[in-house]
A and B are shown apart, each in its own frame.
Chain A
Amino acid sequence: MKAPADLAATDMAEAMRLAILRADPALSRFDPLPRIISFDDFSRGHCGWSQLVGNYEDDLDTMLPGYAQHSSAMLSTLGHWDAGSHGAMDSSYALKIATRARPGARNVAIKRHTFRKRGPIRFELYFTFKPEASELKLSETDVRSIGFLFDLQCGDRDGDGERVMPHLRFLNAADGKHLQKWQYKRETTRFEAVGAGDKILSHYHLAPEGWLDLPDGEQRLCYNEIATKVNWSYLRFDFDLESMRALGLHCNDRNFDLSGFDSIRIPAMKNLWCMLNFCLFAETDVAKRAFLYVDSICISGDF
């Protein structure tokens, strides 16, 4: 082992950074890049996670139906009828994204930032999911999927001119089949003008069509034995804003190969420069609400 005096200053700084991180009970379970952009512990409120509202003009009826179903995320202690509050990992509260009780219903929460530098960013969270415990059954195939996406666009002076939307979901089940695999998406729907003018467009990037299996993307997560027992899982997604390419996906003990992964890519839009949005979503497969719970989220970057 090298003596401290032999360490380069950068090595020493990194060692100190890691030591401080690992001694901090709130951050020690994360592996953030050098700058923490946001750390969301839902015992401190919603931390900027609001509902994804669809675009509209003049009349809310112009909103695409996929977005019209969305509602506000909530703070939950995971209270269950049979066992009371489950609680989160180290506080009482988690963010809860709940769908409606209709097959195929979906809900999305979003956090909206912009970026300072095009470089690596890291999205880490601890999550769990369950259907509403409205039946005394295991119900392990009732949640269709949970997932996340980024909504990114280059800076106004950059030459590449793209809006890039990496999408990943854990497809838990479809039509009663327990599929348990990661999927990605490269297609969105056609852009439509909403309202009478041509200033506001909308597209439904979470349409159910177009999901592709991630190679070797099968993963059996801990679901536990009844509908009201949950276990928290770790998820990490790395993305490079410079090349607009995914760098890695990690869930619990598994690293996934993203060499075949790509994002939804569309021409840059006229007012979204340097956009750095993060979304989390849940989908139900049956006429029962699906719940995505998030204990905490750490978003970091190398800049």
Chain B
Amino acid sequence: MLPENITAVIARNERWTGDAASEPYEAGWAREALFFIRALKQPVGASPTGWIEISPDGMHWLREGTEFRMPSQKDAIAAARLTCFGNWLRVATQFEQGAECTVLVTVHLKA
């Protein structure tokens, strides 16, 4: 049997400002996770650092350590790879006042 994999869209056409994060996603069955964060519109203001967060319960979050620069142009894509995690994953970032990015966030999981 082929190993499982899935492409999940966890944020689609969401306008992120201020403290922003994707909805929690359960990925405990997977050994690898690859996030893509695409700017669907021209971002406004400075492109902040984004990061991956992990959680023991889907409610309490901390940084996993992987960071990336949020895309600075329309259709630019940022990526983050993980091979060691528990179950819950999400992407988070923090924009300066007035800055924003409309994102498409996908996670690609492999067993």
Question: In the complex the two chains form, is A96's CB within 8 Å of B12's CB?
Answer: no
Query: Is chain B's binding surface mostly helix, strand, loop or mixed?
Result: loop
Judged by a CB distance under 8 angstroms, whether B87 is at the interface is: yes
A236 at the B interface (CB under 8 A): no
Give chain B's interface residue range (CB within 8 Å of chain A). Answer: 20 to 34
Q: CB within 8 A of B26: which of A74, A80, A133?
A: A74
List of 3 A-B pairs having minimum Cβ-Cβ separation, nearest first = A72-B8, A81-B57, A60-B13
Knowing A60-B40, A79-B28, A132-B59, say if A71 contacts B13 (CB, 8 Å).
no
Question: A79 with B59: in contact, given A72-B9, A93-B29 (CB under 8 Å)?
Answer: no
- CB neighbours (8 Å) of A81 from chain B are 56-57, 59-60
Q: Does B10 contact A (CB under 8 A)?
A: yes
Residues in A whose Cβ lies below 8 Å from that of B4: 44-45
Q: Once bound together, how far apart are the Cα atoms of A45 and B109, in whole Å?
A: 11
* A61 proximity list for chain B (CB < 8 A): 13
Contact with A along B1-43 (1 / 0, CB 8 A): 0001010111111000000000111111100000000001000
Cβ of A134 < 8 Å from any Cβ of B? yes
Q: B45 within 8 Å of A by Cβ? A: no
The chain A residue sitting closest to B88, CB to CB, is A79
* Interface residues in chain B, defined as those with a beta carbon under 8 Å from any beta carbon in chain A: 4, 6, 8-13, 23-29, 40, 56-60, 87
- Asked if B6 and A77 sit within 8 Å, CB to CB, the answer is no
- Cβ of B26: which chain A residues have Cβ within 8 Å of it? 74-77, 79, 96
CB distance from B89 to the nearest CB of A (A): 10
> Which chain A residues (42-88) contact chain B, with CB distance < 8 Å?
44-46, 51, 53, 60-61, 63, 68, 71-72, 74-77, 79-81
Chain B residue with the shortest CB-CB distance to A63: B13
Q: State whether the Cβ of A299 lies closer than 8 Å to any Cβ in chain B.
A: no
Q: B80 to chain A: closest CB distance in Å?
A: 18
